[in-house]
Structure 1
Amino acid sequence: MNVLVLALIGGYIFHLLHIPIPWMLGPIVVIVMAQFVYKGPLKWTPLTIDIGVVIVGTAIGVQFNVSLFNNIGSILFYMIMLNIILIASSIGVAYLIAKWIKVPVKSVILGTIPGGLGQIIVFAEEEKVSDLGVISYFQVIRLLLVVVVVPFIVAGQVMSKHETVAPMTSSLLFLIALSWVCARVSQKLHIPVAYFITPIIVIIALQLATPIAMPPVPSYVMAIAQLLIGAHIGLMLKPDMIKLPVRILVAGIVSAFALIILTLGSSFLMLFAMNTTFATSFLSTAPGGLDQMVLLANAIKADVSLVSMFQTFRLLFIFLLILPLLKLFYHWLEKRQNQQQVFEKKNEVRVKV
C-alpha cells in the first residue's frame, strides 16, 4: 500500500474538517489506523523524513529573529532552568511508574526522557539496558500523544492563522539545497539532529554575514514538510508494540499525559518571566519532537525563533549532558550492585563454614 496516498488522504480529510496542522495530524492518524487493518508492508524511505526536517530547518532559519541574540544571557538562564525542571520531572514520573509496572527504573527513565527515539535506543543498546520494546513504546506513544493533543490545546490560535500566499522562488530552492548539502556533511560528523540544526545555523550565518534578503516561505511548502514528517511519525507506532502487557500500555499513556501537564505548568513560568504568549511558552517547553513543535509554532504564528531555540537546546541538553550523566550513573550503579553481590556471596560462605 502506498504510504504517500494514505498521507494525502489523511491530510485532505483533516483539512476539510479544519483540524489544526492537518497535513501532519491527518497522515499520522490514517497511517496508524492503516497499520492495524492492512497486514501488508507499508514502505516509506528514511530520505523523506530527512527532506521534511531540512525544509522545516530552512524555513526557521529564514524566519529567525536574530535580535534574540541580544538577550541570549537571560534566555540561556531560562532554558537551563526549564530543562532542569523537565528532566527532574521526567525522572520522578519514571521512578513512580517503574514501581507500578515492575520494570527496571533505568529502562523507564530512558523511555520517559523526551529525547530523540533513535539516540535513546542506541544509548540503551550501548549500556545493555533491557526492555528495548518498553523504551520504544514509551518514546513513541509520548511523541504521538503530544503531537495530537498539543495542537488542540492551542486550537483557537491555529485556526485563526491565515495562509501565506507567496510563490516558490529560486532563492528559496537554493537555500533548501544548500541546507541539504550542509546537513549531509554534518550528519557524517555525527552532529546531533543535523538535518534540523544545520540549516538553521547556515542560514542565520548568511543573515548575519551578508545583506541577502531572505525569501518568503509559501504555506504549501510547510504543508509538504508536515506531510513528510507526519507519515514518518504514523509509521513509528508498530502493531507489535500493542502486544506489550496492558499495564505497560497504560503506563506509557499516563507518563505522556503527566509530562504534558508538568510542562504546561512550567510554561506559565516562562510566560510570566519572559512575557511571551501562552502558545510560544507552551510549545517551547512541550515534550514533543523538535520539528513538530516548530511546525505547529509556524502554523499559529507563535514566536518560531524562540520555540526552535528552546526545543533545540533541550535536545542538546539531553544528548550532551543528561545521557553522559546517566552513563556515569548506570556504571556506578552496576559497580555497586556487583560489590553487593560479592559481599552477599562472602556472607553465604561464612554462614556455611
Structure 2
Amino acid sequence: MPQPATPYGFLRRTPALQWVLLIVISGLVSFILDRAGFPAALFLGPMLVSIAFGVNGATIRLPKPLFQISQGVVGCLIAHAMTAAVLLMVAQHWPLMLLSTSITVLLSVLVGLFLVRFGGLPGSTAAWGTTPGAASAMVAMAEEYGADSRIVATMQYVRVVCVVMISALVGRFLGAEGTGAATQAAQLEWNWQSLSSFAVTLGVVVVGAWLGRRLPAGALMLPIVLGTLVQLGAGIQITLPHWLLALAFGAMGCYVGLRFDQATVRYVMRALPKMIFASLMLIALCAVSALLLAHLMDKDFLSAYLATSPGGLDSMAIIAVESHADVGLVLAMQALRLLGVIVTGPFLARQIARFAKPA
C-alpha cells in the first residue's frame, strides 16, 4: 500500500539525506538550546528534532548497539562523579543520607502511583518517568525493562526543566546562606596530556557495554562499576571530552525521538499538564524533606534542598557551585540516590504496575 503523504514525505526515499539533515539540524538546535540555558540540551535537541522527523514519516532508525555504547558513556559519566571525597561524605553521614534518599524514592513512588491512578499512564512507564535519577540513565533503563522510553524521556525532562528553573531561583534567593564548602565540580574537558586516561575510558565504555548487552541495564551498570574501580582502584581519571558526551547524548536522543509517531505525540500532549503537576508535586515534597535533612545534619537549607532535589546530578552540581552551596553534600546525595534508584528501579516499577490500577 502507498505510504501516507507527509509534509516532508520526499525524505522517505532518501535515507542518506535523512541522516544528514537529522545530524545538522540536531546540532543546530542543541547549540541554540545550550546557549539559551536549557538543561540537557545535548539530549533534548536531537530528541526534539528526531520526534519531528519521526512524526513526518522518517524511515531511519538508530541501531541498538550504538544506543548501548551511549549507555556506556553515561555510565562512565556517573563513575566520574564517584570520587573519594564523595564516598567519604557518604561514609561519614550514611544513616541520614540513606534515610533522606529513601524518603525521596518513596515520594517518587507515591507520585508514580498518582499518575497511574489518575493520569492513565502505564505502571512501569509512570515508575521510570517519576524516578528521581539521572534522566538519561532512567531513559536507558526504562528501555531495557520494556517501558515506553518515549514517554519516560518526556516525563524525565519535563521534571528536569522544572527542577532546574526552580532550583536556580532558590539558589538566587538563598545563595548567601551557602557554606561554600568546597569540593570543585568535575570539569569534563579535553586534555591532550591525558590520552592514556581517555583510551582507558573508551575501553571501559566498549567492554562494559559489550559484556552487559544481554543483562537488564547491563550496558549502563557495568561501565559504572568498571569506571569506579578504575578511577578509585587504579587511580586513572575517567576522561570524557565534551564531543564524546555530545555524541552519546545525541545518539540517545535520536534513538528515542525517531520512535515517536503522530499518535504518541497526541498522547504526550494530552498527558503533559499531569506530568508538570506531578513534577511540581515531587519537587515540593522533596523540599519538605530537605528541611528535615538540614536540621539533622546541621546544614544550610540551600545545600539540603539541592541535595534532595529530584534533578540530574550534573545540573544540581552546577547550581551548587554557582550559589556557593555545599557541593560535596550535593554530589554525595545525588550520587547515592542515583545508585539507589538504579538498583531498586526495576522492583519499584513492578510494584507500581502491580498495585496501581488506572481510574
Q: TM-score band (shorter)?
A: 0.5 to 0.7
Q: Does 1:48 align with 2:66?
A: yes
Which of 24, 29, 32 is residue 5 of structure 1 equivalent to? 24
Could you say if the C-alpha distance between residues 147 and 29 of structure 1 is closer, same or farther in structure 2, counting changes exceeding 3 Å? Answer: farther
Is this contact kept in 2: 1:6–1:31, CA < 8 A?
no
5+ residue gaps, structure 1, are 126-131, 334-353
C-alpha distance in 2, partners of 1:39/1:245? 18
**Alignment coverage as a number of residue pairs:** 309
Q: Supply the AA of the counterpart residue of 2:227.
A: I
Could you say if the C-alpha distance between residues 108 and 40 of structure 1 is closer, same or farther in structure 2, counting changes exceeding 3 Å? Answer: closer
Larger-gyration structure (1/2): 1
C-alpha distance in 1, partners of 2:308/2:197? 29
Is this contact kept in 2: 1:144–1:233, CA < 8 A?
no
Corresponding position of 1:307: 334
Which of 136, 157, 161 is residue 144 of structure 1 equivalent to? 157
Corresponding position of 2:107: 89
1:180-236 deviation line (CA, Å, top 9, x unaligned) = 213321343x2x5333332232233234433x4426543443333343334345446
How big is the shift at 1:23?
Answer: 2.5
C-alpha distance in 1, partners of 2:153/2:85? 35
Corresponding position of 2:246: 223
Is this contact kept in 2: 1:12–1:22, CA < 8 A?
yes
Is this contact kept in 1: 2:140–2:149, CA < 8 A?
no
C-alpha distance in 2, partners of 1:232/1:277? 39
Question: What secondary structure sits across from 1:8 in the alignment?
Answer: helix
Which of 34, 38, 45 is residue 26 of structure 1 equivalent to? 45
How big is the shift at 1:32?
Answer: 3.5
1:78-101 deviation line (CA, Å, top 9, x unaligned) = 454334434443454455555645
Q: Does 1:195 align with 2:233?
A: no
How big is the shift at 1:313?
Answer: 1.1
Higher relative contact order (CA 8 A, sep 6+): 2
C-alpha distance in 1, partners of 2:248/2:37? 18
5+ residue gaps, structure 2, are 1-17, 133-137, 172-184, 322-326
Is this contact kept in 2: 1:186–1:194, CA < 8 A?
yes
TM-score for the superposition, normalised by structure 1:
0.66
Is this contact kept in 2: 1:79–1:313, CA < 8 A?
no
C-alpha distance in 2, partners of 1:19/1:121? 24
C-alpha distance in 2, partners of 1:81/1:7? 41
How big is the shift at 1:238?
Answer: 4.2
Corresponding position of 2:204: 178
1:49-98 deviation line (CA, Å, top 9, x unaligned) = 33333223324434532244345456543454334434443454455555
How big is the shift at 1:151?
Answer: 3.5
C-alpha distance in 2, partners of 1:284/1:165? 31
Could you say if the C-alpha distance between residues 164 and 284 of structure 1 is closer, same or farther in structure 2, counting changes exceeding 3 Å? Answer: farther
RMSD: 4.4
TM-score for the superposition, normalised by structure 2:
0.65
